Structure 1
C-alpha cells in the first residue's frame, strides 16, 4: 500500500480529516517509499546504495507533520529507525563517549557505521539544534550517513535556514544547512488547522486542587494527546540533564518536583520550551517562604513557557492568584499568576511563525 493509499484509508474510516496541505506532501512520501522498496545490493564488494533524496518537512505545530512521517514509516518496507531528534542525539553522545573510552581516534565513524549497518531509512521528529556540541557533531554525522546512501525524513517547526539561529559560532553550522537543502527535499506543510489545539479546544487546562480527580482528568488528556505513549526524553543543556519522564510527539509530562525541585535555571527551561509544544505539569504545591527556591524556579519556568508559546496543562494546590499568598516574592508572582490565567485560554499557544 502506498502512503497515499494509507492516507485515503484513514480519511475514509474517520481517523484523519482530509487536509489539502497534508495531501500536497504525499507524493514526496510515495516517491521515497517506492525507491526504498527496491532492495539494496548486498555482497562482498557492496557499494553504497544509490542515494534516495529524503524529505525535510517543516511547519507550525499541530499541522500533522509527525502523523505523516509515521504514516510513511509504517508503509516503507526497508531497514528503518524512527527517533525523536533530541533522543537520537542523546544516543549519539553515548555512543561517542563509549568509542572514546575504547581509544577510537574518530569517535563519530563507529556511530555512522552502526547506523549504516542497521538502516536505510532514518526518521527524525522535531529536528532542532540548540546546543553547540550537537551543532558540531551533526554535520559530520549526516555527511557519513548520506555518503553511505541512508535516506532521511525529518520534521521541524523551522525551515532549515533557521536551525541553530543566533547560535554560538553559527557560521560553522551553515555548511550543514546547505547539505540538508542539497540532500533533502524541503517542503513546508502550510496547513491552516492546528489539530493539536483542536483536540484541546474546550478542555480544561488548569486543575485544582491537585487531587485524585485532577490526576484522572490529566491522565485522560495525556491519553488523548499521545495515545498512551510514555517514553522519557532527556535534554542536554550545558553539561546538565533535564529529564521529562513522559514524552511523545511534542507533548511532555512531568511533575513540579521534576522541573522545579532540582537546581535548574533559565537555560534549562528555555531548552525545554524549545523542545516541546505542550507541557503537562502536575502537583504544583502552595508556594511561599518554605519553598522559596522552588517558587523562583517555577516563575522562571512559566516565563520560558510563556515566551515560547508552549501550551500548559497543570494541576495545582490552588488557583493562580492564590498559589503564592505570603512571603518574599509574593508581589512579583502576580505577573506569573496573570500569565497562568492567560495561558488557560482556548487557542493560546498558537504560533504561526514557529
Structure 2
C-alpha cells in the first residue's frame, strides 16, 4: 500500500528537507482525497452501460494564499505521488498553448474550436496541475469558462494554486461580467482552500528589513540581489509575460509571485494604466532596480512611474527598490514635481514592515 501524502511530508520533515508547518500539513488530506479518487478503479458499465449516466467527475482543489506559503511545494508532492496520466504546467503557459490551438481550429473554419481543444486535453490527461492561476488577459477571460466546463464534462480533474481566491480572479477586468460564470464553475468543481500560515517563508524575511536602497549603485545592487535570492530561492530566471489587450508586458525575472525589473523596463516602455494594473494583479512582490532622478527631461517616464506606484499601492503589492535618492528628493524640479509629493509619501508608506498586511 502506498504512503499517504502526510506520511511522505512527515518523512521529509524528519529528514530535514522540509520545515514543519501546520497550515501546509492541513492541506495534505485534501490532496490525498483527490489522489485516492483518481486512483480508484474505474467502474465498468454493466449490461445497460450504454444508457448509464456518466459518473460524476472528481472534484479538484483550488489552493490559494500569499507568496511563500508552500503552495508549489505541496503541488510537487502531490504530482509526484499521484499515479494517473497528468500534467503540471504554469497556468499562463497553458493558456498560451490553448489560444494557439484555438486559433488553429478557427483557421480550419471549425464552428466551435473550444470543443476539440478540450477533447484533445482530456484524451491526454486525467489530471491537470496548474501553478499560479491568474487571469489578466481578456482573451483568456472570455474562453476559460467554456474551456474548463468542457474539460470537466470529459472527466479532467484540476488541482491549482493561486495567490488569490476565485472571486478575485480578473478583478476589475474588462467585461468581467462575462467572466463570472467561470468563478461559479471553479467554486462548484473545485474545493477552495486558503493556506493561512503563520510562517510566510519568504515575505516574513522582509519584516523590519530595508526595502528601499539609495543611492543606487554597487552596494544597493548587492542588497537587492541578496533579497531576490531570499525571496526566490535563487530560482528567478523565468520571464513573466502578461497579455494585456493583445500585447505582451514582460517582467524580465519572475518566480512564484515575485518579479524583478529595471525602472526603464517598466517606465521607459509605452505602458499605461491597464498594463500596470495587470502587473499589480499578477505579482505579490515587485523589485525595481535603478530608479533615476526625475525631471522635465524624463517627464513621460516619471508620469508612468507615478501610475505604476499607484497601481502597486492599490494592489497591495510589496515594493523593493533601488533609487538615485530618497523618495522626497527623486523629483525636485520641473512640471509634475509638486504632484509627486503624493507618490513620495506612498513610497515611504510602502517601506513599513507590515504595510501590505495592514492594508489588505
Q: TM-score, normalised by structure 2?
A: 0.86
Given the alignment of the two structures, is residue 283 of structure 1 paired with residue 290 of structure 2, yes or no? yes
**Once the 2 structures are TM-superposed, how far is the Cα of residue 249 of structure 1 from its aligned partner?**
1.0
**Once the 2 structures are TM-superposed, how far is the Cα of residue 148 of structure 1 from its aligned partner?**
2.2
| Equivalent residue number for residue 231 of structure 2 | 225
Distance 1:213 1:78 in 2: 50
| Equivalent residue number for residue 81 of structure 2 | 75
Contact preservation (8 Å) 2:138, 2:244: no
| Equivalent residue number for residue 46 of structure 2 | none
Distance 2:104 2:73 in 1: 34
| Equivalent residue number for residue 45 of structure 1 | none
Alpha-carbon spacing, 1:181–1:238, altered in 2? closer, same or farther (3 Å): same
Alpha-carbon spacing, 1:102–1:230, altered in 2? closer, same or farther (3 Å): farther
| Equivalent residue number for residue 133 of structure 1 | 139
| Equivalent residue number for residue 65 of structure 1 | 71
Give the gaps of 5 or more residues in structure 2: 44-53
Which one of the candidate residues 5, 8, 13 is aligned to 2:10?
8
Distance 1:351 1:34 in 2: 40
Distance 2:103 2:32 in 1: 38
**Once the 2 structures are TM-superposed, how far is the Cα of residue 339 of structure 1 from its aligned partner?**
1.4
| Equivalent residue number for residue 263 of structure 1 | 270
Per mean C-alpha deviation after superposition, the further-off stretch among 330-339 and 275-284 is: 330-339
**Once the 2 structures are TM-superposed, how far is the Cα of residue 262 of structure 1 from its aligned partner?**
0.8
Give the alignment of 1:245-324 within 5 angstroms: 245-324=252-331
Distance 2:171 2:351 in 1: 30
Contact preservation (8 Å) 1:36, 1:78: yes
Contact preservation (8 Å) 2:136, 2:242: no
| Equivalent residue number for residue 355 of structure 2 | 348
RMSD: 2.8
Which one of the candidate residues 167, 181, 191 is aligned to 2:197?
191
Instruction: Please state whether the residue corresponding to 1:185 is helix, strand or coil.
Output: strand
Distance 2:186 2:345 in 1: 42
**Once the 2 structures are TM-superposed, how far is the Cα of residue 171 of structure 1 from its aligned partner?**
4.4
| Equivalent residue number for residue 54 of structure 1 | 60
**Once the 2 structures are TM-superposed, how far is the Cα of residue 113 of structure 1 from its aligned partner?**
3.6
- Superposed structure 1 runs of 4+ greater than 6 Å apart: none
Contact preservation (8 Å) 2:203, 2:231: no
